[in-house]
């Protein structure tokens, strides 16, 4: 009696051939170019979530030796160093703008959000911080109605209420004590939502390259004073870890930007949930942090709510999910 051999799914077959050619750069490049833009975007998105998660784990590790404000400064310093060659190559033409004040406001909001987020990473479980960070698109949906004059839609408010219900599942106020880290990351998510609204306004007249360039410049400038305020001496080993923070942060941003060029943002958003899986593994392996069932359930509810909003907004403008993904730490 003959046996039927199961057919290998095309995605797994592509990944298998890419793995075989990984040691040969020319072979890998050839295999990569043969992939569809959708698959390239998905793989880059997965790489981005992994790099962001490693960066968060490194921030948590280094925060045992240095204040989070100082770590944020070096994260932005190395990010700005990576941006400088691009600025010089364009002969700084990407900095042409008539809305410098709005760019500066976005920088202020972003640095406040980053400082709160890095502080939360230093004192709260990684998975819990990641789960609560998924509330940013929910806050953005509320602000879009209040400040951008977007129409009331029943699906939007149902998703918003579901998202905040997921947040309550994680926080469980009245049942467990509200820790400072959870409050900080929730505040950080709300500030990221404000930054996304500013991006939405800027995008009416500014290119995405100009918006990113000014973000890097202002984050670098605005993080100097907070870092100087809490500055502590450190050794070469600590400097090496902070270089890695900057490296993985840059890899994450580059992979995310390229993924958004290759693939529709709404096709990528489901893979953003991988950040919770990566951070749960890193937290358990290196910091003995095991996320409870409420964190997983709440994160799933919050993420599903944000995903629902993004898919519905895509039918109208196609831009909401891209802004949610681009405005990451």
Q: What's the pLDDT tens digit per position in 262-283? A: 777 667 777 888 899 999 999 9
Residue 216 burial (10 A CB sphere; 0-12, 13-18, 19+): buried
Cα angle for residues 116, 98, 262 (degrees, 5° grid) = 65
Q: What pLDDT, on a 0 to 100 scale, did the predictor assign at position 63?
A: 95
- How far apart CA 72 and CA 225 sit, in angstroms, is 11
Share of the chain above pLDDT 90, in %: 39
Tell me how crowded residue 155 is: count the other CB atoms within 10 A of its CB: 12
Facing residues of 176 across strands? Answer: 173
Handedness of CA 196, 201, 202, 203 (dihedral sign): positive
- How far apart CA 175 and CA 70 sit, in angstroms, is 34
Question: For residue 5, what pLDDT band results from cuts at 50, 70 and 90?
Answer: very low
- How far apart CA 121 and CA 61 sit, in angstroms, is 9
Residues composing the chain? 329
- How far apart CA 257 and CA 260 sit, in angstroms, is 5
Share of the chain above pLDDT 70, in %: 83
Min mean pLDDT across 47-51, 96-100, 156-160, 263-267 is at 263-267
Q: What is the pTM of this model?
A: 0.83
User: 20-24, 94-98, 188-192: which has the highest mean pLDDT?
Assistant: 188-192
Query: Do residues 245 and 74 touch, judged by C-beta distance below 8 A?
Result: yes
pLDDT tens per residue, range 127-168: 999 999 988 888 888 888 787 777 767 777 888 888 889 898
| pLDDT surpasses 50 at 1 | no
Facing residues of 77 across strands? Answer: none
Structure tokens belonging to residue 276: 């919770």
Query: Do residues 103 and 214 touch, judged by C-beta distance below 8 A?
Result: yes
Q: What pLDDT, on a 0 to 100 scale, did the predictor assign at position 317?
A: 54
For the CA atoms of 206, 207, 209, 213, the dihedral, rounded to the nearest 10 degrees, stands at 0
Average pLDDT, the chain: 82
Q: What pLDDT, on a 0 to 100 scale, did the predictor assign at position 189?
A: 93
Min mean pLDDT across 37-46, 97-106, 251-260, 306-315 is at 306-315
Residue 226 CB partners (closer than 8 Å, separation 6+): 69, 72, 73, 111, 115
**Residue-by-residue DSSP string for 245-260:** HHHHHHHHHHHHHHHH
DSSP3 helix / strand / coil % (the chain, rounded to 5): 80, 0, 20
Facing residues of 173 across strands? Answer: 176
Distances (CA, A) of 289 to 91, 166, 267, 299: 47, 21, 31, 16
DSSP-derived 3-state class of residue 176: strand
Query: Do residues 198 and 110 touch, judged by C-beta distance below 8 A?
Result: no
Q: What pLDDT, on a 0 to 100 scale, did the predictor assign at position 130?
A: 93
Tell me how crowded residue 254 is: count the other CB atoms within 10 A of its CB: 15
């Amino acid at each position: 009696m003959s046996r039927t051999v199961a057919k290998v799914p095309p995605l797994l077959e592509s990944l298998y051939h890419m793995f075989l050619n990984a040691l040969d750069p020319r072979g890998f490049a050839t295999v990569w170019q043969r992939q569809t833009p959708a698959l390239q975007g998905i793989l880059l998105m997965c790489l981005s979530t992994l790099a962001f998660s490693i960066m968060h784990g490194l921030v948590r590790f280094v925060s045992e030796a240095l204040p989070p404000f100082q770590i944020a400064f070096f994260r932005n310093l190395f990010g700005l160093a990576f941006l400088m060659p691009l600025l010089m190559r364009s002969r700084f033409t990407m900095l042409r703008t008539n809305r410098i004040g709005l760019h500066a406001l976005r920088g202020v909001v972003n640095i406040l959000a980053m400082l709160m987020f890095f502080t939360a990473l230093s004192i709260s479980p990684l998975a819990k911080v990641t789960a609560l960070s998924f509330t940013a698109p929910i806050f953005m949906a509320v602000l879009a109605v209040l400040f951008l004059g977007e129409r009331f839609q029943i699906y939007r408010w149902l998703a918003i209420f579901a998202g905040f219900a997921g947040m309550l599942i994680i926080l469980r106020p009245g049942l467990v004590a509200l820790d400072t880290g959870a409050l900080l990351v929730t505040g950080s998510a709300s500030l990221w939502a404000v930054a996304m609204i500013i991006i939405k306004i800027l995008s009416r007249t500014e290119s995405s390259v100009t918006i990113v360039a000014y973000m890097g410049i202002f984050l670098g400038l605005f993080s100097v004073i907070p870092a100087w305020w809490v500055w502590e001496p450190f050794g070469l080993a600590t400097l090496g870890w902070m270089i890695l923070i900057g490296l993985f942060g840059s890899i994450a941003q580059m992979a995310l930007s390229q993924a958004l060029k290759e693939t529709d943002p709404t096709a990528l958003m489901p893979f953003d949930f991988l950040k919770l899986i990566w951070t749960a593994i890193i937290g358990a392996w290196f910091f003995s942090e095991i996320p409870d069932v409420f964190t997983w359930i709440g994160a799933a509810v919050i993420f599903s709510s944000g995903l629902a909003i993004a898919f519905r907004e895509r039918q109208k403008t196609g831009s909401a999910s891209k802004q949610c993904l681009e405005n990451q730490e």
